[in-house]
């Protein structure tokens, strides 16, 4: 971060750098408001638990009032009937505020193409990061959170969709090696009785 | 499974039992809608029936049958805990006269089931204490589980934000935004 804070110096650049400094400060201090409506909530609980340790990103403290929070997690299917409530919650949050769309249903309605379901929360409120998955794994959630922090640091408010990433090269082989070490001396696992 | 319940119903209501069937223990009686509540009361109060447990009430829509028997088939399933038998009652209603006596005064559990049937199919239950929509909102027009309701017709309560479309995801040029995508751009400061 040193170059961001120290660099520049030409006229007109300072404002940008100051925003970058603000963004850098903000991105490690996210107070989340979980708007949990459906089965994605289970995966959200897993991601928010100690095993995945969301506290590493400074985003572990849930506030159960939108007026005390700046990151809205929309977790699960939102029905047409809930949409006014969701918009009202968003409007109660103080600037600067960000929205994470957790899972396919919140992002685009998922497979609910019917009379009851809002086809994506972006019909009601602006969204910063979409995390695809049904539900997304905690790793994907943390990836989405890191993408959001990256965006906050860059002062970028355009919507972003989390990329579906493959395992890095060599990791599958390493996993296979670990599996072989662990299973050494044990009977092989088969599907037969 | 004995057909005791069907025999009792036929003895009590005669020609008002339009047809009966019994398939692998599932006893079904199609009733004249006029005796709907009387039959429910009879099943509950008759000591040999003793159907004290309300299982389910809902509607099946057969739009092609409206000319002949009526498109809405309301069914009511009741069960006897003591005698371990159950029966399914059916009443067929035409769309023009889709109303039926409420059985919520007989089986308290039918209250919300009838509200749901009204909400989803528009069948009106006479004598129901509080016949309002239960799942959909008051502003909703039409009955979504009728077969002639358009399958993907939504009636939003809010105005959709500009630049968004039905079912067109956000997944266009921004899909898979890379980290550190661009230097800080003042254009991107606000939504």
Domains of chain A (ranges plus CATH)? 2-182 (3.40.50.12280)
- The CA distance from A31 to A152, in Å, is 14
Residues B189, A157 contacting (CB under 8 angstroms): yes
By Cβ distance, the residue of B158, B160, B166 closest to A84 is B158
CB-CB neighbours of A64 under 10 Å: 8
Residues of chain B contacting A122 with CB distance shorter than 8 Å? 161, 164, 170
Closest in B155, B176, B188 to A155, CB measured: B188
Chain A residue set in contact with B, beta carbons under 8 Å: 15-16, 19-20, 80-81, 83-84, 87, 107-109, 113-120, 122-127, 130, 146-147, 150-151, 154-164
The pair of three-digit structure tokens given for residue B188, joined into one six-digit string = 């991107």
Taken in order B110, B112, B113, B118, the sign of the CA dihedral is: positive
Q: What is the pLDDT of residue A101?
A: 92
B164 vs A87: CB contact, 8 Å cut-off? no
Structural domains present in chain B: 4-160 (3.30.460.80)
pLDDT tens profile B72-120 = 999 999 999 998 889 999 999 998 888 999 999 999 999 999 999 999 9
Confidence of residue A109 (pLDDT cuts 50, 70, 90): confident
- In this predicted structure, what is the pLDDT of residue A25? 87
- Are B71 and B95 in contact by the 8 Å Cβ rule? The answer is yes
Tell me the per-residue pLDDT of B1-31, one tens digit each, with 9 for 90 and over.
557 889 889 989 988 999 999 888 889 999 9
Which of A156, A162, A164, A166 should one mutate to test binding to chain B, selecting the residue with the greatest count of B CBs within 10 A?
A156
pLDDT tens digits for A112-168? 888 899 888 888 898 888 888 888 888 889 888 988 998 888 877 778 887 766 667
Q: Specify the 3-state DSSP secondary structure of B59.
A: strand
Which residues of chain B have a CB within 8 Å of the CB of A127? 170
Q: What was the pLDDT predicted at B189?
A: 44
Q: In the prediction, which pLDDT does A89 show?
A: 94
- Residue A5 pLDDT exceeds 80: no
| Partner residue facing A159 (CB), from B153, B174, B179 | B174
- φ/ψ of residue B107, rounded to 5: -115, 110
pLDDT at A6 over 50: no
Dist. CA A130–CA B174, nearest whole Å: 10
Q: Which residues of B touch A83 (CB under 8 A)?
A: 156-158
Please report, rounded to a whole number, the percentage of residues in chain A having pLDDT higher than 70.
Answer: 87
Tell me what pLDDT residue A93 has: 92
From CA A63, how far away is CA A89, in angstroms rounded?
13
pLDDT value of residue B190: 44
């Amino acid at each position: 971060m040193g170059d961001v804070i120290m660099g520049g110096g030409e006229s007109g650049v300072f404002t940008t750098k100051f925003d970058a400094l603000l963004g850098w400060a903000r991105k490690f201090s996210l107070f989340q408001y979980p708007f949990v409506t459906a089965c994605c909530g289970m995966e959200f609980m897993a991601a928010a638990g100690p095993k995945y340790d969301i506290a590493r990103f400074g985003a572990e403290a849930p506030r159960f009032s939108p007026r005390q929070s700046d990151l809205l997690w929309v977790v699960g299917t939102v029905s047409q009937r809930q949409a006014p409530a969701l918009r009202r919650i968003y409007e109660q949050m103080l600037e600067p505020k960000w929205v994470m769309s957790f899972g396919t249903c919140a992002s685009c309605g998922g497979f609910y193409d019917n009379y009851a379901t809002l086809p994506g929360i972006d019909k009601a409120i602006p969204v910063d990061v979409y995390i695809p998955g049904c539900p997304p794994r905690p790793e994907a959630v943390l990836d989405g959170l890191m993408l959001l922090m990256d965006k906050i640091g860059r002062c970028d408010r355009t919507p972003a969709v989390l990329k579906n990433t493959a395992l890095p090269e060599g990791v599958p082989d390493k996993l296979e090696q670990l599996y072989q070490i662990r299973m050494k001396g044990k009977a092989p696992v088969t599907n037969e009785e | 499974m004995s057909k005791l319940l069907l025999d009792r119903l036929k003895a009590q209501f005669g020609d008002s039992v339009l047809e009966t069937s019994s398939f692998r223990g599932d006893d079904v009686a199609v009733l004249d809608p006029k005796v709907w509540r009387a039959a429910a009361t009879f099943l509950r109060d008759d000591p040999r029936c003793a159907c004290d447990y309300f299982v389910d009430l809902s509607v099946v829509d057969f739009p092609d049958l409206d000319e002949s028997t009526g498109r809405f088939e309301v069914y009511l399933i009741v069960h006897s805990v003591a005698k371990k038998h159950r029966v399914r009652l059916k009443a067929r209603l035409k769309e023009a006269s889709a109303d039926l006596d409420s059985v919520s005064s007989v089986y308290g559990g039918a209250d919300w089931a009838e509200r749901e049937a009204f909400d989803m199919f528009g069948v009106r239950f006479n004598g129901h204490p509080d016949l309002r929509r239960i799942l959909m909102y008051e502003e909703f027009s039409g009955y979504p589980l009728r077969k002639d309701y358009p399958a993907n017709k939504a009636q939003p309560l809010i105005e959709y934000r500009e630049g968004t479309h039905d079912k067109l995801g956000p997944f266009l040029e921004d899909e898979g935004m890379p980290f550190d995508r661009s230097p800080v751009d003042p254009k991107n400061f606000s939504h």
